[in-house]
Amino acid sequence: MRAMLSSLRAVAALLAVAAMLLLAGCGGSDEDDAANTASTTTPAAAGPQLGEAVEAIAELPGALKTPPPWPANTDELQQRLRALGLEPLTEEGQLQHTHQHLDILVAGEPVEVPGDLGIGDGFISDLHTHASYPPGIIHVESPAQETFTLGQFFAVWGVPLSADCIGSLCAKGDKQLKAWVNGEPVSGDPTRIVLEDHQQIVLAYGTPAEVPKPVPATYAWPEGL
């Protein structure tokens, strides 16, 4: 009888241990499931990377403090590049090579980004356009891996840009300057937008009724770009 009781106690103890292990295993499974769920959740789309603001573009040599249209404005380009800390290049840089498309709208009407902007007589900027490509395509071609911003492009162009103004047009009443990258609104100073490959950038000045609907979010890139 004593032997039987001992055996029963041993069996009961084993069953208790097994039950505890089973419960612990179930708890671990829930945590693992939660972790797996968290790891497979798609994060919300992030906005563009933002860099340092480019200020006082209007004070640069040859700045175009006028309403559009704005020409390529290369007469004092070399002086602007040196003021920006950008070296005039003798040829296009090859280490960093990306492209962005820029749409500018004023009162609902498109403003052309001119070709050969950033290209002078015998030199070229890291940031430029080509007349041989469709209007609005920004070329970032640099001999070094660096972070370039939309503000630097406008500074090379010599067209003032800030949180409220483009050229001589500044926010007033219901007329505002708005920015989007890949269809997503960008608040604050658009000069801070970091240029990344194949962005679709839109700047629109005007009333809410003059904002394009929908805002262009993509661009049909030419073959090879």
Residues 6 or more apart in contact with residue 191 via CB below 8 angstroms: 53, 54, 55, 57, 149, 150, 151, 152, 154, 161, 162
pLDDT tens digits along 42-86: 333 568 999 999 999 999 999 999 999 999 999 999 999 999 999
pLDDT tens digits along 116-161: 999 999 999 999 999 999 999 999 999 999 999 999 999 999 999 9
Helix axes 150-157, 77-84, angle to 10 degrees: 150
Domain 57-210 in this protein, CATH class? mainly beta
Q: Using alpha carbons only, give the angle 80, 157, 67 rounded to the nearest 5 degrees.
A: 120
Pairing of strands 96-106, 109-111: antiparallel
Instruction: Check pLDDT > 80 for residue 13.
Output: no
Whether this model's pTM surpasses 0.95: no
CA distance 171 to 164: 5
* Burial letters 119-148, b for 16+ CB under 10 A, else e: bbeebbbbbbbeeeeeebbbbbbbeeeeeb
